[in-house]
Structure 1
Amino acid sequence: MDLIRHLRFFVSVADEGHFGRAATALDMTQPPLSQGLRRLEQHLGVDLIHRTRQGAVLTSAGRQLLPRARLLVDDAERLLAEAHRIANAHGAVHWGATAALPDRVVTACVGALRTAVAADAAVSTTVATSVDLVADVRSGLCDVAVIEHPALVDGVEVRPVVKVPRWLVVPSDHRSAGAERPTFPMLGGLSFACPPRAANPPAFDTVVDLLRERGLDAPTVPAPDDRTVFAAVAAGTSFGLTTMRPSSTPGVTWLRIAPQAVALRVRVVHRPGTDAYADAVDRVLYRERLR
């Protein structure tokens, strides 16, 4: 049995308190997760989780073993990260970006990092959720990353928050598209196409709360990137937010509503000793900030 993999199942279920959410966080389906946890319990000879209708509850043994399990999982990630760095120890820079960051900023960051490192150094880019990027920086898989704010950033170095312009996009035939002064309540009846909450719970909750404060309580549908946002909007059923500047896109109209409020808030996170890389990326974000 792959002990570390099964311990990761246990830690995820304990953190989420729910098998379905844990499976989503691990990018797998629920049945193999549940089966894997049972195999771990059989291997250890103790029950770790009580399965209830409300969710997953730690047993007494589970509460006692969770800290040790977490240490083993974290140590395994650090080992992999260290091995990865050794295998690529030729001045390579590993950095990451949230999918919400516009392409023009991603490529500008790559260029800035190439300038900040040795001439023969490689720059590798990972596009992932803010939750995963923070974990990658914390474990050493990434040297620096741009994540959405707010986010849980314990265990990493952080830089100030920067606002990047963001627009609302709506179906071209929606009443708000032709309004002289569009408002949030006009979007009632449309769903909000946005990244799933698991990608970054604090940022997700902040945007949903903002919409409610402005008089719009819209159901959400998962859309992890601009492509899926635009597809949902063009279908006439959703609105969304994008950092892509207005362009001629069939079925989609850009709206400028409350630009300061809906701006994308991002920040640089990095591991200790990588200040030069963080400075390079931070300068790019500063140039792109909301004016």
Structure 2
Amino acid sequence: MDLIRHLRFFVSVADERHFGRAAAALDMTQPPLSQGLRRLERHLGIDLIHRTRHGAVLTSAGLQLLPRARLLVDDAERLLAESHRIANSRGTVHWGATAALPDRMVTACVGALRTTVAEDATVATTVGTTVDLVADVRAGLCDVAVIEHPALVDGVEARPVVKVPRWLVVPADHRSAAAERPGFPMLAGLSFACPPRATNPPAVDTLLDLLRERGLDAPTVPAPDDRAVLAATAAGTSFGLTAIPPADTPGVTWIRLAPQALALRVRVVHRPGADAHADAVDGVLFRERLR
């Protein structure tokens, strides 16, 4: 009996609470799904699902076993992904960067990593959220990553925090753009274009708390990267933060405000055994740090 496959049936039915929808999610028909779940129940010696006219309801035993079943299914998928990476990417360094890291630093990190691999090896880059990057490093899918701080880094090795310069961007026609001494309260009435909280809850919460401490309690609009931040700012309704140095950008003005407090805090995380890769990336960050 393929235990993982049948546990996947159980998890899908538990998530959908309906056999037809679970079968569709698994790209199969309902009869083999139902038969497979019954086979699993016989194998375990317990009932997992009550079958009703209106759908599927977890039994008491099903409720107790669902978290462990979900872990086994997730771990199996990660194992398959890792084996695929090993089989198809020998000689490749996989690294990731938070979307907040400016392009010049991303390319500098790639160049530094190339010095740590053989001449015929490659460097594969992923730009993602801090939450996803930490999960990928923890699972072995990524060798090293640059993430935002603060963040939950359990299960990975972490290097010291580094500050990268970051600017406040405001609409070019906003009163703060021309102010001799702009302050945070002047931004009242604008929304704050920032990454969704789910991308890294500790960092987003810390930033919002900082703004409130400075007298600004602004509503937020989702802006996952610098392009989205600049677009929302140019629209005249939002302000944001970017590590891109000041540039001639229509509709947007850069303001140097509270540089230490608003600095982008990043750090390198890596899997065990990837110290050389981490050293290379760490070196790039420290060259860009605030002095």
TM-score grouping bracket, smaller chain normalisation? 0.7 to 0.9
Is 1:83 the counterpart of 2:84? The answer is: yes
Deviations 1:118-137 (A, max 9, x none): 11110010001111111111
SS in 1 for 2:100: coil
Aligned-pair CA distance for 1:3: 6.3
Partners of 2:112 and 2:8 in 1: how far apart?
37
SS in 2 for 1:254: strand
Q: 1:2 to 1:61 in 2, by over 3 A?
A: closer
2:170 counterpart residue number: 170
Partners of 2:94 and 2:284 in 1: how far apart?
17
Partners of 2:152 and 2:115 in 1: how far apart?
30
Segments of 5+ residues of structure 2 without an aligned counterpart are 38-46, 51-58
Contact kept, 8 Å, 2:8 with 2:73, in 1: the verdict is no
After alignment, is 76-85 or 240-249 more displaced?
Answer: 76-85
1:269 counterpart residue number: 269
Is 1:123 the counterpart of 2:126? The answer is: no
Aligned-pair CA distance for 1:157: 0.9
Deviations 1:132-163 (A, max 9, x none): 11111111111100011111111111111101
Deviations 1:237-258 (A, max 9, x none): 0000000000111110001111
Aligned-pair CA distance for 1:233: 0.4
Percent of matched pairs sharing the same residue? 67
Contact kept, 8 Å, 1:4 with 1:73, in 2: the verdict is no
Partners of 1:220 and 1:2 in 2: how far apart?
42
1:107 counterpart residue number: 107
Aligned-pair CA distance for 1:88: 1.3
Aligned-pair CA distance for 1:72: 2.5
Partners of 1:93 and 1:200 in 2: how far apart?
24
2:62 counterpart residue number: 61
Query: Which amino acid in 2 is paired with 1:94?
Result: H
SS in 2 for 1:152: coil
Partners of 1:10 and 1:246 in 2: how far apart?
52
Give the count of matched residue pairs. Answer: 262
Contact kept, 8 Å, 2:11 with 2:66, in 1: the verdict is no
Contact kept, 8 Å, 1:94 with 1:141, in 2: the verdict is yes
**Which of structures 1 and 2 has the bigger CA Rg?**
2
**1:94-243 matched pairs, under 5 angstroms:** 94-243=94-243
After alignment, is 69-78 or 128-137 more displaced?
Answer: 69-78
SS in 1 for 2:193: strand
Aligned-pair CA distance for 1:64: 3.4
Aligned-pair CA distance for 1:65: 2.3
Q: 1:64 to 1:135 in 2, by over 3 A?
A: same
Q: 1:193 to 1:177 in 2, by over 3 A?
A: same
Q: 1:3 to 1:278 in 2, by over 3 A?
A: farther
Aligned-pair CA distance for 1:87: 1.2
Contact kept, 8 Å, 1:196 with 1:223, in 2: the verdict is yes
SS in 2 for 1:116: coil
Normalising by structure 1, we get a TM-score of: 0.82
Aligned-pair CA distance for 1:75: 3.0
Partners of 1:4 and 1:249 in 2: how far apart?
53
Q: 1:240 to 1:10 in 2, by over 3 A?
A: farther
Query: Which amino acid in 1 is paired with 2:80?
Result: L
SS in 1 for 2:95: strand
Contact kept, 8 Å, 1:95 with 1:143, in 2: the verdict is yes
Instruction: Supply the RMSD in Å over aligned alpha carbons.
Output: 2.9
